[in-house]
Amino acid sequence: MPDPHDALREDPQLGPLVDEHGELELEQADDPFERLVVSIVRQQVSMDAAAAIRERLFDAVEVTPEGVAGADPDVLRDAGLSSQKTDYVRNVAEAFRERDWDRSSFAALSDDEVRSELTGITGVGDWTAEMFLMFALGREDVFPVGDLGIRKGMQSLYGEETTRAEMRDIAAQWRPYRSYASLYVWRAYEG
């Protein structure tokens, strides 16, 4: 299988970004549960706000399925989680506990199967499942078109009027390395 960076260098829009930013890597998180909690924290908030909440949360509780499930909801809210996100992280903790999930639990599942398992948990939508696929499991062919940074990056590369359907069509040419392409599209958005 060819190197993802070599494949993306062939793209007229992404090639210059690969040259500019170097060979960005897709790394699996050390702890899939922790990474899923971080994705929930990041839902619909700025990166700065998410970082502050993450720090307070990690200081307040042990971010394990047992630690989050056993935490007083007030402690989670005091760390900066909304009532809704408090429920969401507790739902995820319960799912991990009940199903005894760890990284190996997802290894044999396709991306769609992982997405289906996760989105069955209240509070985990497609975006959160896609972040999990990319950053917890290191899956190489995920394109999170629902992500604001991806949409803005695609619009900066392909024009302000680019629709989500057009973005998906453009991204199809990056298979099987759409996750790597996404890293560069985010860089295009960040400027």
Task: Convert the pLDDT of each residue in 13-64 to its tens digit.
Answer: 999 999 999 999 999 999 999 999 999 999 888 889 999 999 999 999 999 9
Per-residue pLDDT tens over the stretch 88-104: 999 999 999 999 999 99
CB burial of 121-144 (b: ≥16 within 10 Å; e: otherwise) equals bebbbebbbbbbbbbbbebbbbbb
pLDDT of 85 reads 97
pLDDT surpassing 90 at residue 190: no
For 29, phi then psi, to 5°, come to -65, 150
Residue 10 pLDDT > 80: yes
**CATH 1.10.1670.40 residue window(s) in the chain:** 4-25+143-190
Class of domain 32-135: mainly alpha
What CATH code is assigned to 4-25+143-190?
Answer: 1.10.1670.40
Which pLDDT does position 140 carry in this prediction?
96
What token pair was written down for 163? 């629709």
pLDDT of 2 above 90 = no
pTM for the whole structure: 0.93
Q: Where in the chain is the domain with CATH 1.10.340.30?
A: 32-135
Give the rounded percent of residues in the chain with a pLDDT score beyond 70: 99
